[in-house]
Structure 1
């Protein structure tokens, strides 16, 4: 009996010590033989707390759009409220980052703005649910002092993730899902839940998994999450169940209420006589103070854009409210952009919190037919909101035309003209502004089409004046971000060239920049063609948009445009062409035969032959 008790206590002690062991806090090293420096993957996230039952809030903290979460998470709506403990898959761009001279850590960079009361620990645990740790936040933000954080300060939070190794890819492992191991979890239950195997999980993570460790679950494809169905009790049933309670409570309250009304009425009458004067005086003081505060806010905001006052029309908020029916959802175009009608014309009105100063400063420097024109702006001092009023383009975004329109498809000639228009717009901001402007968010949804299907570049909200800089604040859209910017924060005009190459692939293939499994189009393109279209010409038909194949377009012409895309997507930014060369190549696309090599391409040299 004593022997049995001894073994039981020994087993209990081992189990307890395993539970009490601290999780991995410093992060996870990159896989030594992963095939690429970055990959698209997912993190398993459970919506908890009142602030995380809105998909918009979750998309904000992870810097992705709501549809990018809804699609892999098997959600039928992006606007319906979530329920507590609702499971979600969050898309991540996982990169291998140099932490110090000896260690490379694998994580997704998420930028978070410090709010009142925030600490590295609270944000890591409460907001990101232990998908990172405060120790790792300190490692990747070595210049910040955790005990002296300022409100509004930008901090990188490293969300733990990993990319598959060459061996895992050969074994059909396409994703390593980041999952925080809970105290009551076991490896076999996780394997069953995600459609993996116990052996695969142990092989990927070792057999010393501790609670709150982030583990990486190998899967060939994302499992279909079973989402809860909101239930509600019929109105008639609720009324019947509560009828008796309401009647009884009503009688009791009625008796008490009559007595209280009589007593309160007399008291209120007496109090109102002497408070009338004081209330009038206080209201006058409040109105005066409020007016002064609003005037101060407006003066401050107007001072920020004083250079723009003589170039753009300054609208009143009442005009914009009337134009958009008080910003009714029926006028919503996308995001925070509304369609408004003023002075006999339609406008696109972008509503935003006061962060438009830089965008206005950049827009006042540019004026080109392939850039969406800013007509004016408005400052609402009551709410510190800013509204940018743009020209309205009738045919919407290129994204909508390529990926959502089922009837009005774009011909090859139209697509080629759109590519030239985009390239002309980029050439202008890269070559004809001082300092040069980098757009930083070139994508098909930021390309708008007018009545003649001519393209204009929109949304300079992330644009930067000046280039060849380093930033820790990584922003952009998954699938379009240049590798050097993602890994090192290098801002240059060549990152716009890379994004333009992705848009070219969209125009050719009709596919989205990121597929439903989170794989980037440019990655698939490189895997299929390996930088040499001529050598893999037999794969062209499988890549070109089926609609274009019906046009019997010239294969050589398409190959020329694909060759330009390959050059734009060169992993070495110094070997990507400039927009001047790209415009020249596109305009000569009918008879251009480009020569692609490891050093990029030079259209002028090729044509000179």
Structure 2
């Protein structure tokens, strides 16, 4: 019944607009100027109601609004961010509101939210159903002039302008700190809305006028967020005498059946023991449960079932192949940690040895396929030692970290570094934008970026990667110097933590310095002092890798990359750019142009200008 009601809302809205000569608000949004807003941007909130089937948990709603579950649960008075929601449960969702010029004649106030088009989506459907009329399809068309509403492709990223307003100076003087965006419902009246939010009728009409119609976005002035009353899940009904009697009878029958089965199992066991006495000691040993580091035979079957989806996609290597390829896993073949270099049938591979915890990594690697990600070739399970081996393509030139931070006769040119940055950005854009659910790598760092024979970059090591965004975890993992502040403080897992780590890598590429020095100082903490007005070039030259100063790269190019890095390192995750924006910004550099030969870049390559 609820779903039918949802689909009736757009029809009701159409009827209202057909019968009202002057509808509010404007279908393209709310005009704003410097005079009616206190600043260019502010944080405010929208009132949102969960709806089935897609938006009944904070994770999915957080993905829709590009915020974490914690950022919704705190203002909404929800104690457990992971709990399921009830339909129409009240929520406050934070948004960043700004005055934005959409063309030469129109400037409107909205929060820009990126939405990836799925099958069946239209501007109208997403505006009315997903965003519950917090915007209009007309406004979406105005903000996205390069997209044709009738020719949307799955995967298109569309900006949906969520209507909002910031308090003006007069409102701030009257203790109006927020203008909450609320969609007026057919059953609402101004008195009830004012009471619900702790506002006043006069305050609401002063901001919105007195011609408020159903499905208009109205702005409710408040000094502070009201304390939302959340529904309580009713306790389970107590057992009746009849239920208890039935349960006792059922328990008795169940115990009787279990007793018969136990007798049969014991008989089968004695029969098996009699057969085993006639077998040799070696055969008996194979049937025993392995102790220590080994695994039970049943466990081996379960592990193979876990990776059954991978069997037709990846090669299953034998243990003898891997032992032969690495001379019995001799230390001389170690690349790093527990990763070995090995040759099988004339092909070189990187063989990663791990205890059985590779299922998550395999599950993620199954759904990614991109030239800037290290390719998984196959795997092997060793039941004797309870180990799993992941076999990757071998990337010849090692890690970016070794090129930047170890003594080498050759240094990376600026053009090569820029190409590496764009390669990594492309790889991250792929896992953030083209996987469902989105993949967060969680450990982007220079040692996890490998360079092939053409000095093209590939992202490696998905051991910490997770599917899904805006989750909260209490188990913080990662590498010091690259960890985003919100993840370290609150355990917030989102694509924006990869953006932060990528910003640190950009600083490494420019400065040649490590992400954390011997004294424990992190590189990003002092980066904002590099671009100082009036002394920008001097500071930047002092901070750059000395080898780059000998090249003919333009300082404007280096400065623009540092600017991108600083944007990635913003302490507010919502203000960090997406990887789509980063790829575009880096590709505009004056020192980057597509004249790459078939041999690719060489480490010594210097751009001729």
TM-score under structure 1 length normalisation? 0.50
- Report the structure, 1 or 2, having the larger helix content: 1
